[in-house]
Structure 1
Amino acid sequence: MRSSHKFILLILSTISLISLVTESRKTIPSEGKKRELEKLLNHINKPAIKSFQSKHGYILDCIDIHKQLAFDHPLLKNHSIQLKPTTIPKWTRDNDTSQQSTSLPFRQEEDIICPPGTVIIKRTTLEDLIQFQRLESLGFKPTSKDRNDDPPGHYTAVAQYYALNFGGMGNINVWDPQVEPDQYSLSSIYVQGGLKEDFESISSGWIVILTSSYAPTTLVKSVLSFYPKQTNKKGCYNTLCPGFVQVSRKFSLGTVVRPVSRYGGKQYHLEISIYQDALTKDWWYVLKGEPVGYWPNPLFSYSGLAEGADNVWWGGEVFSAGKDRISPIMGSGFVPQDDFGKAAYINGLRVIDHVRKLIIPPAKDLVVYASSPTCYNVKTISRRGAYWSRAIFYGGPAGCTVR
């Protein structure tokens, strides 16, 4: 196991190397830099017991569960793997089928499952490293409670629950909004805690961002991000740095999300929950009822997320770099009207409250916030059925001019 010093050097070398590559999207790395990147990729990509080729072009590796990158983190040196949560919330299912019949969970297109004793991990590529640097340069970070922290060009439309809690869930409607280079559009659920100095955040959802010139396509990618104090203040996403312990043999992080919703047509969503295990205090990520993995409790501080969270957010974000640029589409591109199949939604909103009781957040306790309501907005709704008893519509068309 590597020391803390070597771990820090690894993170710094990752940032510096990919910075060299992203200075110009048209520049091909020199042979020397390629060798350095390959060495870094060899460290990130652990030896595979079995591999699968995805129809989307990436490789899924089956890695020995004990040899995954998570355990390169110095705080996890003697960590005992939890194969499943010790406590599992009974997330309420929907009994009203009036809209559920056309709102379908994300389905795994690949009929892939890794052997027992391994976990499924998307192989990291040069493109992934470049995309990580681009997201960082575009200001990809958790939405802070301090709204004055938002950089120019960053817009949000979210519903917020401010109270001590131990996690939340939501069904995040999936779209593929058009973006341009140096832009992104995403939808996610955030669980956050701590003040500005000790702020910590974990989140999951999807993001659309143009890839580099090596593969100029738009991807709707599943994203898992975390910003614990002990890792670095810039945070990480997916499995590009140690910390998140993967346990699933079925669902990998950072994969393409398909199918996506269509205006007036079938609607698809990611069924996501993030919650803290009552016994181990680890934070678990569950997709479509499958425990994918967890953030171990030692990664967090007492004033951050070690003992619960301060707030849960649901909604959309967009970002556009450069002055006088037009911001991209958020969600479906339509304003949040009470029309299923048109505006983007997140339904099935739930939280685990201060006494670890699973509740539908009261309407009076949900604060809606749109940083630029003339461009993007958010609206809470309440209907029959567990999915729609508490939900939001959010989003809007491209059109804000970055000043």
Structure 2
Amino acid sequence: MEFSSNIVLLTLFTVSLVLAAETAHDERRTIPSEEEKIEMERQLKAINKPALKSFKTENGEIFDCIDIRKQLAFDHPLLKNHSVQLKPTSVPVWIPSNNISRNIGPLQLLQKRIRCPHGTVIVKRTTIQDLIHSQHLKSIGFNSPRHVFTEGNNIDLSGHHFATVEYDYSRVAGVTGNINLWDPQVSHDQVSIATMAIAQGPIEHLASISVGWMVNPLLYQDHIHLYTYWTADGYNKTGCYDIRCPGFVQVSQRIPLGVLLHPVSIYTGTQYEMDLSLHQDRATGDWWLVFGGVNVGYWPKSLFMGSGLVKGANLASWGGQVYSPKTEKSPIMGSGHFPKEGFGKAAFVNNIQILDGKGEAFIPQIYTIKTGESSPNCYKAKFIHDEDEPWIRAVYYGGPGGCIGQLSRN
């Protein structure tokens, strides 16, 4: 079981980054033809639904207020007759935890003047550059199962490194964690993320959802952004980041996926975190994303029909990962400092909790948690438990980077 779960979780964290980062050099060189530009304009008209109101932020991003029942999600063939759920029918009661850092409020992410009317949801507008990026995701051929560390494996994982803790002991109906916010500097080709994820099934049919923050110049242009990623078939034909394809049903009028996160933590200074949770509605089977107690939206159960996530997950993970082309040294993960430096210096995810099959929250026991470090010379993870301060369950993770070469098999 340990060997199998390590394969699945490693795939979960590496493939989502492979999709976004492996094509960095090629993307900068690619200029679409006139025919491709015409096709992209057609796609934009299909993706960007008519807006009742629009806003442009100080950093140039455009957000649209879309009729909640006409959003992109319902272009998915499995959601044609889907009825919008405005809120989950079941709400988890998480165990109170010690909080010694500052939570960013979900309503402070956008300027106060950005407020969508009743009956609409806020979404980030897709651009030509977004479509060029999506075109590259298809062209690089990462649309087949990722069998990692198996006989005959020809998948090149050079440049991918992770430091996480994972839970694979029993059924998981939800997870939560307070994810420390940092804004690591990376090059145009590099990616650095903090993530919380759930998954179910064998690699070839892996169903997973991951959420957290990401610094990825190709995907988000600048700084640290809220990100999500989902797949229902091992990254073969389903899934995408945020709302770059039909699937995720947005219900929030104030928290768009892909939004810039601020403020961020300062080394030896004020620490900021965001409170995220994923949970499955016990009545509908939908998977809800909650930010700071506010319902952002959900992935309908129908997206995962035939996969394990319909009946819950069996794997959960918290921590970080980075990517860099194999010819470059790997970038900073988290704060850029090792876990041994502790609070105020190393990145963390605290308040780690899980929902069981009955929808009841519990704090995972020490023996159910495993630590994974692919490149311990550059990045480490440290699981914090009862006798460690200041939290009952947490993970410190990260490191300065500087690795080159094949992903370690540790």
Secondary structure, counterpart of 1:170 in structure 2: strand
Secondary structure, counterpart of 1:218 in structure 2: coil
Partner of 1:225: 229
Tell me the amino acid that sits aligned with residue 166 of structure 2. Answer: Q
The alpha carbon displacement at 1:317 in A equals 0.6
Query: Structure 1 residues 385, 280: closer, same or farther in 2, change over 3 A?
Result: farther
Partner of 1:378: 381
Partner of 1:128: 130
Query: Structure 1 residues 396, 20: closer, same or farther in 2, change over 3 A?
Result: closer
Query: Structure 1 residues 104, 80: closer, same or farther in 2, change over 3 A?
Result: closer
Mapped contact 1:21–1:130 kept (Cα < 8 A): no
Q: Write the mapping of 1:93-242 to structure 2, written as runs, cut at 5 A.
A: 93-94=96-97, 96=98, 99-100=100-101, 102=102, 104=104, 107-111=108-112, 112-132=114-134, 151-162=157-168, 163-211=170-218, 218-229=222-233, 232-233=236-237, 235-242=239-246
Stretch of structure 1 that moved more, 154-163 or 347-356? 347-356
Aligned residues: 377
Question: Which structure 1 residue ranges, 5 or more long, are not aligned?
Answer: 1-18
The alpha carbon displacement at 1:269 in A equals 1.6
Q: Write the mapping of 1:262-281 to structure 2, written as runs, cut at 5 A.
A: 262-281=266-285
Query: Structure 1 residues 90, 135: closer, same or farther in 2, change over 3 A?
Result: farther
The alpha carbon displacement at 1:197 in A equals 2.1
Partner of 1:365: 368
Q: Deviations over 1:305-329 (max 9, x none)?
A: 110001110010111123x421111
Q: Deviations over 1:7-44 (max 9, x none)?
A: xxxxxxxxxxxx99984525543443322211111110
The alpha carbon displacement at 1:128 in A equals 2.3
The alpha carbon displacement at 1:257 in A equals 1.3
Query: Structure 1 residues 343, 120: closer, same or farther in 2, change over 3 A?
Result: same
Query: Structure 1 residues 135, 369: closer, same or farther in 2, change over 3 A?
Result: farther
Mapped contact 1:208–1:218 kept (Cα < 8 A): yes
Query: Structure 1 residues 252, 193: closer, same or farther in 2, change over 3 A?
Result: same
**Cα-Cα RMSD:** 3.0
Partner of 1:350: 353
Partner of 1:8: none
Mapped contact 1:247–1:291 kept (Cα < 8 A): yes
The alpha carbon displacement at 1:267 in A equals 1.4
Stretch of structure 1 that moved more, 113-122 or 300-309? 300-309
Q: Deviations over 1:104-141 (max 9, x none)?
A: 55642422221111110011112223444567789999
Distance in 1, Cα, partners of 2:51 & 2:184:
34
Mapped contact 1:48–1:62 kept (Cα < 8 A): yes
Partner of 1:243: 247
Tell me the amino acid that sits aligned with residue 131 of structure 2. Answer: L
Mapped contact 1:45–1:124 kept (Cα < 8 A): yes
Mapped contact 2:103–2:275 kept (Cα < 8 A): no
Partner of 1:389: 392
Mapped contact 1:22–1:133 kept (Cα < 8 A): no
Tell me the amino acid that sits aligned with residue 174 of structure 2. Answer: G
Mapped contact 1:327–1:401 kept (Cα < 8 A): yes
Secondary structure, counterpart of 2:267 in structure 1: coil
Q: Deviations over 1:83-112 (max 9, x none)?
A: 000000012333x45x23x56556424222
Tell me the amino acid that sits aligned with residue 109 of structure 2. Answer: Q
Distance in 2, Cα, partners of 1:150 & 1:380:
29
The alpha carbon displacement at 1:338 in A equals 5.3
The alpha carbon displacement at 1:202 in A equals 0.6
Mapped contact 1:329–1:398 kept (Cα < 8 A): yes
Partner of 1:62: 65
Query: Structure 1 residues 161, 27: closer, same or farther in 2, change over 3 A?
Result: closer
Are 1:52 and 2:55 matched, yes or no? yes
TM-score by length of structure 2 reads 0.84
Query: Structure 1 residues 28, 229: closer, same or farther in 2, change over 3 A?
Result: closer
Distance in 1, Cα, partners of 2:263 & 2:55:
20
Tell me the amino acid that sits aligned with residue 330 of structure 1. Answer: M
Mapped contact 1:338–1:393 kept (Cα < 8 A): no
The alpha carbon displacement at 1:343 in A equals 0.4
Mapped contact 2:330–2:403 kept (Cα < 8 A): yes
Query: Structure 1 residues 302, 392: closer, same or farther in 2, change over 3 A?
Result: same
Secondary structure, counterpart of 1:337 in structure 2: helix
